[in-house]
Homo-oligomer: A and B are copies of this chain.
């Protein structure tokens, strides 16, 4: 029952232990980087998927599902794209005893699976905008060290693919995706920055890429999602065309929006503390755990009250668990704290008799609720918990960025850095070398802190055309 490692000092060790003690995943599956979703972890994922589904469907996207396997011939149609993924794909070469005529790729992402079919579905300007998404697993033959949720070989993946009439409409869809993500991030109490990635770091085949990054301690950042504008880069090789009002055939302009189980990892990484995971109530597998306190002579009164309350909370739509195991109350508190449950309710014989509960939230705030209608008080306590979590997150987000004016300052960065840059690629690489990380890019919208007007380029010293960019150490 020791505390976890210090998060700031030993982030990766802390993270691995936090995931482990919460029992979100089992890494002992005999293929490295392919992990098992435990019942507890799966419940968090299901809630997270629900957020994504509600968010994207509210923005006019419809669900589809394309096959997992992609023929080599289709996979190779867009040259940049295949170059970006070639070293990272799994190949299916045999069915039963038979060598396949055309090897199949386990999708690393679904552009090349979807676009031949989009070419059949889209005929006319009336078919546009065309917005579809799928939540599926994707596969990457990852050669670096794998980490649960962050870098794995089978990835729980969300991908929206859209076709638009024009370049401008595609850019507008990217902005709509940003708004959708904002809603998802708010539900998770996660602050983030959206940056337009430098050209050398965009998605293979993209015209531009907007990435969604979280600061996760020190200069470390975690990319939790991307929004890409493809222009006609895929619609030309895959011949996705529509007839416009004048009867002319035109190529569609495409966008994609990708998220993954990294969002779950990010939630763990951003909110967690030395006791373990801290879930916002939106995706907590259990929002409330009730611990009946049974004394020697009290009989079943506490346990009965706990079960009755649990039934009423379930009827009110709250996810609740009654821990009536034989463990000591202290051990239960420890367990459910490490697993990130937002609200613990303790019911002893006196509370049961009074019709009250003692509520302790995952941030340590304690209150007595009741007597009276307990459901309302408990829901209110969850709302207050989420607000406190969001306030705490905003505060640590503010501290996660600082301006650097000279390259030498970058080496010892203890925050993500904001630097002035001329846009020249060689200067960009100098910045990356100095921070031993990456230029994340130019933020879409305001910077997390206001550094005033951009100064001279931190690398070459030129004052022309400089802009603020973020630089950090992506995990």
Interface residues of A, Cβ cutoff 8 Å to B: 26, 28-31, 34-39, 42-43, 45-46, 62-69, 71, 73-74, 86-98, 104, 106, 113, 116-117, 120-121, 132, 137, 139, 141, 143, 154
Contact = CB atoms under 8 A, between A and B. Distances in A.
B154 A67 contact: yes
The copy count of this chain in the complex is 2
A444 B95 CA distance: 36
A116 to B, nearest CB: 6
5 contacts: A30-B116, A31-B67, A39-B62, A45-B65, A91-B92
Nearest to A70: B31
Contacts of A30: 71, 73-74, 116
Given A29-B66, A42-B63, 14 more contacts: A26-B120, A29-B116, A30-B73, A30-B116, A31-B69, A36-B65, A39-B132, A68-B139, A69-B154, A88-B96, A89-B96, A91-B95, A92-B106, A96-B143
Nearest to A141: B95
A91 B94 contact: yes
Given A30-B74, A89-B96, A117-B26, A36 B64 contact: yes
B87 A64 contact: no
Nearest to A116: B30
A137 B68 contact: yes
Contacts of A93: 91-94
A110 to B, nearest CB: 11
B31 A104 contact: yes
A250 B212 CA distance: 51
B90 A64 contact: no
A66 B137 contact: no
A85 to B, nearest CB: 9
A157 B120 CA distance: 28
A71 B28 CA distance: 13
Contacts of A38: 64
Contacts of A117: 26, 28-29, 36
Contacts of A39: 62-64, 132
A94 B90 contact: yes
A128 B94 CA distance: 39
A87 B91 contact: no
Nearest to A62: B39
A121 B38 CA distance: 10
Contacts of A68: 34, 68, 137, 139, 154
A117 B96 CA distance: 26
Contacts of A120: 26, 28
A88 B97 CA distance: 9
- 4 residue pairs, one from A and one from B, having the closest CB atoms: A95-B141, A34-B67, A37-B65, A39-B62
B28 A69 contact: no
A94 B89 CA distance: 8
Contacts of A31: 67, 69, 71, 104
A431 to B, nearest CB: 30
A130 to B, nearest CB: 10
